[in-house]
Amino acid sequence: MNPFSSGTRLRDMIRAIRACKTAAEERAVVRKECAAIRAAISENDQDYRHRNLAKLMFIHMLGYPTHFGQMECLKLIASAGFPEKRIGYLGLMLLLDERQEVLMLVTNSLKQDLNHSNQYIVGLALCALGNICSAEMARDLAPEVERLLQTRDPNIRKKAALCSIRIIRKVPDLAENFMGPAASLLKEKHHGVLIAGVQLCTDLCKASTDALEYLRKNCTEGLVRILRDVSNSPYAPEYDIAGITDPFLHIRALRLMRMLGQGDADSSEYMNDILAQVATKTESNKNAGNAILYECVETIMGIEATSGLRVLAINILGRFLSNRDNNIRYVALNMLMKAVTVDFQAVQRHRTTILECVKDSDASIRKRALELVFLLVNDNNVKSLTKELIDYLEVSDQDFKGDLTAKICSIVEKFSQEKLWYIDQMFKVLSLAGNYVKDDVWHALIVMISNAPDLQGYSVRSLYKAFQTSNEQESLVRVTVWCIGEYGEMLVNNVGVLEMEEPMTVTESDAVDVVEVALKRHSSDIKTRAMSLVALLKISSRFPPTSERIREIVMQHKENVELELQQRSIEFNSIIQRHQNIKSSLVERMPVLDESTYIGKRVGSSQATLPADKSSRPTSGSPGASLKLPNGVAKPPPAPLVDLLDLSSDDVPAPTSSATDFLHDLLGGDLMSPSSSAPSGGAGTDILMDLLSIGSPSAPTDVSIRNTISSNQGNAGEPKTAPASVMDLLDGLPSNSSLPGDKNPIYPSITAFESSTLKVTFSFTKQPGKPQNTMIQATFTNLSSNTYTDFIFQAAVPKFIQLRLDPASSSTLPASGNGTITQMLSVTNSQHGQKALAMRLRIVYKVNDQDKMEQGQINNFPPGL
């Protein structure tokens, strides 16, 4: 066979490579061969050049570098012999690409070979050009190719036609040169030329609108004739695939019809008949027949077809869906996706079949079908579809559950008409595939539950039941823990039982059991554990008898490696053990979460921000609760303002900056220049008022503020009563609220706020060297004859100021001025000297268990703060 005898032959090399047992051996053989080939190249060996290149191509296929052989391709192409040229062109196509400079050198050889008298050499050159043609080559060689479109040999004509496609793709401007020749190709009888010609026309239509118009005018008729001939033609074994005559020509012709008929009523009209014929007469028991039908459907959908034809097309797809062949079902789903936008109702009729495809054993089909079902959901069918999908969720493959869950959740969220249904569906999903539910989905569920007071009892009981059977589902566990923390008593006392509910008895310790399981569950991550700890703290106040047990559970985490859990554990222990008096107010139920804010946040922020900080700051899971407690008691300082204001969510990446940003938003920029905002009632400041009242149960009793500067005297002695009651939350740590009394106050004290029932005075101290920082001691005096309990002071400042509230000295304010509460505020004015301090405050307290609230704005700060 092989004319060469010396050196290793190609066969031998392949054999040697195949004999290699390891990759290292293979590399060694290849290295040796490459070295020999390089040597031959440098000796400019002519006899073995084409054999060497053949070897290089094999080596290239295995993934080794072969760039050194590129010039050899050019030399072979330039040589006269056919075998050399053939290998040369093959090497050109495999080893080089159009971006390489070397390619420039080959243009001339190509030109010569395109004009060669041997048709096979012309064929080789065309083939190479069709594979690697660059824009420059396209310009240089287009005339040759154009001429070849009219040669006598059909094999050359068809190759030239396909080569033209490449040229047009590289240089669309050349399209007009090819319009005429392409149109005349459609008059051919030779099947291969027709396929190539139709394909060329299709590409011309894509490349230029001129060509599209030209072909629409001149070829529509010819094209219809081609299709009619081929579909009516008798059995022709040569082009027959599985009994269908020339499916490829069918398909190409149908595709070109789509290009021509798109948006053009006249030509569409002209095509209707033949399309109907193909759609009805083509046999559908073979793959080739189905390929034609499939293409025909796409064309009918693409052109301005009559509605009858469209129904026919969708019905073909419907038949495809029930085909036993996976491939047919797959393409049918693909096409239905496209058809949904054209004819929604027609696709809707096949909904049940499509739903069956969601349960297919084939992953590709399942995925497609699920996407399609998602497109088909509307208000009428959402319930039945969701039920089907959820039923299937139970038995579906593990790797499909993620997709399926995400789609179900988004269907349920998008189409839920009633809260009960939404909650029910979400619970089902959580218990079946809770591990696949995204964070933002269950966050949304919690917001929803919080907004549905009459369903909270039902929710917590359902979750309790679900937890008993599927406590391995992470997000189910989290939602359950959260709900038990918030609505635990509804679980135990059977509050708000719905009609369809079965009665159940849950004891207080059962509820604690659930949270304890969640906390100790092996697979729980830190977020779940942190949520569990908070829930335990909350339950301990709802169910006092369990308090001691909860303290023991909490204390098990005092040496946890996770700093966050450890710290919470110690803090909560301290709260349970030593601060019974404030505990109940500390852990009151969260106010209703604001849905619109949450939705806004969900849309605005990426999901990624949600999970991260939840784990790091578990108590912020109940930010609203902190509205009810003395500032700063529940958690270490800089956060309280954040919690105070950021009611609806727990994602606070950087507490201080976020707090100030938030305030900035709140104040609407008005307070940025306090001089202009000082007169109360500006739009921006109203927003702040609104915000502060979110979640507050009592109506604000707005009081006018008396901006009187009072002397320091009246309050000077009072702070001394306070320090004893400052709470040290972390056992053993000394109280750090030092009294500013011994420092010289440079600034006069002011009465920041005064109403008929309450008076607040501020006294100021500055540390030397830090003019921006001001320590403010707020002193609260009760002017009424009733004792105030659950006393909370809150303050908000504009963006350029940072505020830190230290714990208040007490939460109880005795009546008639028989004692005071003091609280330290630390203020940093970042624009010290340019802008004066400004602050809004709100005070919440209880009188005989009645909620009271007072609020006001302070603009009488002494200058120079």
Judged by CB under 8 A, the chain residues 193 through 222 that form the site for another protein are 195-196, 199
Beta strand segments in 703-858, E = 750-754, 758-765, 773-782, 788-796, 801-808, 820-829, 839-847, 850-858
Stretch that binds another protein, among 159-167, 407-415, 504-512, 782-790 (CB under 8 A): 159-167
C-beta closer to another protein: residue 265 or 363? 363
Q: Is residue 364 a contact point for another protein (CB under 8 A)?
A: yes
Q: Is residue 710 a contact point for another protein (CB under 8 A)?
A: no
Q: Is residue 25 a contact point for another protein (CB under 8 A)?
A: no
Q: Could you tell me the smallest distance in angstroms from the CB atom of residue 112 to another protein?
A: 12
Q: Is residue 725 a contact point for another protein (CB under 8 A)?
A: no
Q: Is residue 842 a contact point for another protein (CB under 8 A)?
A: no
C-alpha span between 290 and 334 (Å, rounded): 14
Using CB under 8 A as the binding rule, the residues of this chain from 615 to 644 that contact another protein are none
Using CB under 8 A as the binding rule, the residues of this chain from 112 to 131 that contact another protein are 116-118, 120, 123, 127, 130-131
**Residue 398 CB burial class (10 angstroms; 0-12, 13-18, ≥19):** exposed
Instruction: Please report, in angstroms and rounded to a whole number, the separation of the first and last CA atoms in the chain.
Output: 100
Q: Is residue 323 a contact point for another protein (CB under 8 A)?
A: no
Q: Could you tell me the smallest distance in angstroms from the CB atom of residue 19 to another protein?
A: 12
| Candidate list 159, 443, 461, 804; residue touching another protein; CB under 8 A | 159
Q: Is residue 98 a contact point for another protein (CB under 8 A)?
A: yes
Q: Is residue 513 a contact point for another protein (CB under 8 A)?
A: no
C-beta closer to another protein: residue 117 or 285? 117
C-beta closer to another protein: residue 258 or 635? 258
- In Å, what is the CA distance from 136 to each residue of 78, 79, 190, 555? 20, 24, 32, 78
Q: Is residue 329 a contact point for another protein (CB under 8 A)?
A: yes
Using CB under 8 A as the binding rule, the residues of this chain from 33 to 62 that contact another protein are 54, 57-58, 60-62
Query: What is the Cα 811 distance to its own chain's centre?
Result: 45
For the beta carbon of residue 303, count every other beta carbon within 10 angstroms.
23
C-alpha span between 35 and 59 (Å, rounded): 12
C-beta closer to another protein: residue 118 or 816? 118
Using CB under 8 A as the binding rule, the residues of this chain from 221 to 250 that contact another protein are 238-239, 241-242, 246-248
- 67 SS3 class: helix
The helix (run of H) or strand (run of E) holding residue 244 is strand 244-245
Q: Could you tell me the smallest distance in angstroms from the CB atom of residue 361 to another protein?
A: 7
Residues 297 and 316 sit within 8 Å (Cβ to Cβ): yes
C-alpha span between 801 and 667 (Å, rounded): 12
C-beta closer to another protein: residue 95 or 404? 95
C-beta closer to another protein: residue 237 or 503? 237
Tell me the per-residue interface mask from 573 to 602 with another protein, x by CB under 8 A, - otherwise: ------------------------------
* Residue 855 neighbours by CB under 8 Å, 6+ apart: 689, 692, 700, 702, 703, 840, 841, 842, 843
| Candidate list 183, 328, 518, 750; residue touching another protein; CB under 8 A | 328
- 827 SS3 class: strand
Residues 470 and 510 sit within 8 Å (Cβ to Cβ): no
Question: β-strand 839-847 against 820-829: which pairing, if any?
Answer: unpaired
Using CB under 8 A as the binding rule, the residues of this chain from 68 to 87 that contact another protein are 80-84, 86-87
Q: Could you tell me the smallest distance in angstroms from the CB atom of residue 399 to another protein?
A: 10
Which candidate, 244, 248, 308, places its Cα nearest to that of 275? 308
The helix (run of H) or strand (run of E) holding residue 367 is helix 363-376
* Residue 25 neighbours by CB under 8 Å, 6+ apart: none
Q: Could you tell me the smallest distance in angstroms from the CB atom of residue 241 to another protein?
A: 5
C-alpha span between 540 and 45 (Å, rounded): 92
- 245 SS3 class: strand
For the CA atoms of 555, 556, 561, 566, the dihedral, rounded to the nearest 10 degrees, stands at -10
| Total of residues contacting another protein (CB under 8 A) | 76
| Candidate list 40, 56, 365, 441; residue touching another protein; CB under 8 A | 365
Using CB under 8 A as the binding rule, the residues of this chain from 269 to 308 that contact another protein are 287-288, 290-291, 294-295
Q: Is residue 97 a contact point for another protein (CB under 8 A)?
A: yes
Q: Could you tell me the smallest distance in angstroms from the CB atom of residue 346 to another protein?
A: 22
C-beta closer to another protein: residue 326 or 735? 326
Q: Is residue 361 a contact point for another protein (CB under 8 A)?
A: yes
